[in-house]
Every structure is written in C-alpha cells, then in structure tokens.
Amino acid sequence: MIGKTTEFLGNVKTELKKVTWPTRKDTYGSTIVVIVLVLLVAVFLWAVDSALSTVIRMLLN
C-alpha cells in the first residue's frame, strides 16, 4: 500500500512538471472577464425578475 502511494505521488509530481501554468497577466485577465460576466448575468436576471413580477402583479390586480 505504501509503495503504491509513493509511486502515485511520484507520478503526480512528474505530471505537475508538465503543466503549463497561466501567467499572472492571464489569470488577472480571466478573473476580470468572469467578474464582468457574473455582473452582466446578475443584472439580466434582476431585469427579467422585475419584469415578470410586474406582469404577474398586473394580471392579479
């Protein structure tokens, strides 16, 4: 069991050396894109919710 675990961790270390990690600039850019998209979706959902609430309120009155 210990031998397999040691072998597995060795393989993990080898594979991690092959990974191309994003630069700080890439990470920053991706983070900004995600934040902007989340805000846009939030505003869109708020607008749809408000519109539907208004329509339902008008129908029920």
Asked whether the predicted pLDDT for residue 3 surpasses 90, the reply is: no
Q: Which domain, by its residues, includes 45?
A: 22-61
44 domain-assigned: yes
Whole-model pTM? 0.67
13 domain-assigned: no
60 domain-assigned: yes
What mean pLDDT is predicted for residues 6-24? 96
**What is the tens place of the pLDDT at every residue in 31-41?**
999 999 999 99
2 domain-assigned: no
Provide the domain count of the chain: 1
Asked whether the predicted pLDDT for residue 1 surpasses 90, the reply is: no
1 domain-assigned: no
3-state secondary structure the chain: CHHHHHHHHHHHHHHHHHCCCCCHHHHHHHHHHHHHHHHHHHHHHHHHHHHHHHHHHHHHC
